[in-house]
Structure 1
Amino acid sequence: MTAPVLAPTNATEKPHQTDRRRAILVFVSDKGIFLFTGLVILAALVLVNGFASTANVVDVFHRASSIGIVAIGMTFVVISANYIDLSVVAQVAAAGVSLMAFNSLGVIPAMAIGIGFCMVFGLVNGFAVGILRANAVVVTLGTTGIGLGLLALATKGTIFYGDPNGATAAFGAFRIGPVPSSALLLAVVAILAAVLLGKSSFGFTLRSIGSNREAARLVGVRSGLYVIGAFLATSICSAIAGFVLASYSNTAVATMAAGFDFSALAAVIVGGNSLFGGKGSILRTLIGVIFIAVISNVLVLLGFTYEWQQFVTGSIIVIAVASDALSRKAGLR
């Protein structure tokens, strides 16, 4: 009597199904943002009236530049596995107000004062998080309150105006062809940051700390100093963004950077940088900046209100974070 032939079971199919799902998840996690950004831009070019105009494209990059520079700086903190620096709101405002308020001393001294204020934030945040191992969200939320409070007390709500014929206004209005100075500066900052993060020992070590801080400590890495360095990088970028923002309108006020923390984090996370640290790049941050800027611009052109922009941006962040978490759960990161 011959043995019955057993029908194939799902057991032999499961590995193939799992591999297929993993491959899809890998693609979405690593390459999805590049594809989605391209599709969104293509759809906007075809379907949204006014999007393809030179004036609109220039405006998109001009408005995204200051956020992009902040996001580039925040990438260092995120990669170090310290989640976020909320104090960028106070730092950008402090730098912009310094540039305008101390402009009578000269542009260079005014910028030096602004950078100095921002670096104080970076040192305090970095020491508390990197050396004392305090929670980055709590620490930077506290320094945000302190910074904005002191700035409001010092300025008393004053709006500072620059010289319309001065160097600051000239920089804000400068263009090479249709490309504004702010976009050119964003490109320069991005290149320098990419070299620092991707080609230097500092960047390599920072990634190692973000991937496994305890392992880095065991091989003798003084991780606290590198975390301070990450926060200082964020502070320098925040100062530059403050200068760009102030020069654009030739004005500055203590509330000028409201929402920058949310927008910068959105760009970093949506670009595919891991909120859990260790994985990411400046290119990914730039793609995230472009994606968020295009989405916001399309919503404006279609007549949606700011509240809808917040809703859509928040939804995109949740999807990006969920994708990152699923990738880690599947062992892909």
Structure 2
Amino acid sequence: MAKETFTEAMAVAKDPQDSKATKPKTSFIGFIADKGIFVFTGILVLTAVLFVDGFASLQNVTDVFHRAAPIGIVALGMTFVVITGNYLDLSVVAQAAAAGVILIAVSNAYNLIIAFAVAFVVAIIFALANGIAVGYFKANAVIVTLATTYIGLGLLRLLSGGSQVFGPADGPIATFGTSKLGPFPYSAVVLVAVTLILTFVLTRTNFGFLIRSFGVNSSATRLAGTNTGLIVIGAFMVTSMAAMFAGFVLAAFSNTAVSNMATGFDFQALAAIIVGGTSVFGGKGSVPRTLLGVVFVSILSNVLVLVQVSYGFQQVAIGSLIVLAVTVDALGRRVSKK
């Protein structure tokens, strides 16, 4: 208990000259950085309901959450890596694809239990490879996870022959992909469940506290006697588990899987995380805010589709949104230090 108290005190300690940072800030930039996602999501939803035909239908709303689920689950898990200050995990693309292919291919040959076990082992291997390289050898997380992405996708293509695998039409995977709990598809239920579990882990466990304290002040956390390498491995482990479940959900959508099925997941998940207010500088963020970022980006994409905006302009809009969110975050941090 004493260790945790000392770590917390050290992690949040500020230079005496920065004592003003603890005072509430009322600047516009500070407000936007902290509360903007709530305001802009409300404005976007209200505008879409009033002016976009078909948006407010129950079918469209459930479809938005259904399609957002895989990317959302990845983003929720990656939030842990971003909070530690390691920026992101690019290998979620390979991890989600591997999980989806393994789920269908291995369950076809054996059964679901063995498929789950194999996917779980693969997720652990990814987490250990990324976490050890970044946490213990201090390698750049972007380069490491980019390398494990290429290695993972290469091995997946070699083992699967690059071909698409199909599950039985009446099997449990296909059933999951088309079933609903009331009006909500199972994929959305999984998204909510993952949100609740990871929120508890980040806010109510010692591991979650260490993730946040390491992101705020890694040196102080290390000086307090904490094995910071294990913290980084743990963050990558959470991301890998989330990517695994995202791959399962994605494979269930069409009851098929292929090695390139998760292309773009890294960028889209990062967009949701940043828009939700998790700082790329580490130490600041939350799982519910990431979920809100997922909702905002998904609704924006849905609205652009409904008003028949081309895919190219959709990419420009999402990219511009990320630049704006990062800029506001940086300005907000600068204002809070004045």
Name the counterpart of 2:294: 289
Give the secondary structure class of the aligned counterpart of 2:90: coil
CA distance in 2, matches of 1:81, 1:43: 35
Give secondary structure in 2 for the equivalent of 1:39.
helix
Shift of 1:116: 1.5
2:215 equivalent among 197, 202, 210: 210
Aligned residues: 315
TM-score by length of 1: 0.92
- Cα pair distance change 1:307/1:315, threshold 3 Å: same
Give yes or no for the alignment of 1:275 onto 2:280: yes
Q: Which residue of 2 aligns with 1:230?
A: 235
1:40 partner letter:
L
| Structure 1 residues 21 and 194, CA gap change in structure 2 (3 angstroms) | closer
* Match in the other structure for 1:261: 266
Which residue does 2:198 correspond to in 1?
193
Secondary structure at 1:288's aligned position in 2?
A: helix
Letter in 2 for 1:281: S
Q: Distance in 2 between matches of 1:257 and 1:242?
A: 8
Q: Which runs of 5+ in 2 are unaligned?
A: 1-22
Read off the aligned partner of 2:68 and give its amino acid letter. A
Deviations 1:173-231 (A, max 9, x none): 11012100000011111100000001111011111110110111111111110100000
Aligned to 1:125: 130
Say whether residues 1:298 and 2:303 are aligned partners: yes
Give the alignment of 1:1-333 within 5 angstroms: 22-104=26-108, 105-331=110-336
**Percent identity of the aligned residues?**
54
Q: Is the 8 A contact 1:22 1:330 kept in 2?
A: no
Tell me the secondary structure at the aligned position of residue 55 of structure 2: coil
SS of 1:330 mapped into structure 2: helix
Q: 1:282 to 1:20 in 2, by over 3 A?
A: closer
Change (3 A) 1:305 1:115: farther
- Write the distance in 2 (CA, Å) between the matches of 1:153 and 1:300: 36
- Give the distance between the partners of 2:24 and 2:212, measured in 1 at CA: 29
Give, in angstroms, the shift of residue 23 of structure 1: 2.3
1-side partners of 2:26 and 2:157: how far apart?
51
Cα distance in 1, alignment partners of residues 311 and 161 from structure 2:
27
CA distance in 2, matches of 1:35, 1:252: 38
Q: Hey, which bits of structure 1, 4+ residues long, moved more than 4 A?
A: 19-22
* 2:177–2:253 Cα contact (<8 Å) kept: yes
Shift of 1:106: 1.2
User: Which sections of structure 1, spanning at least 5 residues, go unmatched?
Assistant: 1-18
Is contact 2:176-2:252 (8 Å) kept?
yes
Answer yes or no: is the 8 Å Cα contact 2:95–2:244 preserved in 1. yes
My pick for the range that moved more, 77-86 or 163-172, is: 163-172
Partner of 2:18: none
Q: Which residue type is aligned with residue 327 of structure 1?
A: G
Encode CA deviations 1:92-135: one digit per residue, 9 max, x unaligned.
Answer: 00000000111131112112211211221111000000011110
Deviation at 1:22, TM superposition (A): 4.8
SS at match of 1:254: coil
Specify whether residues 217 and 262 from structure 1 end up closer, same or farther in structure 2 by C-alpha distance, changes over 3 A only: same
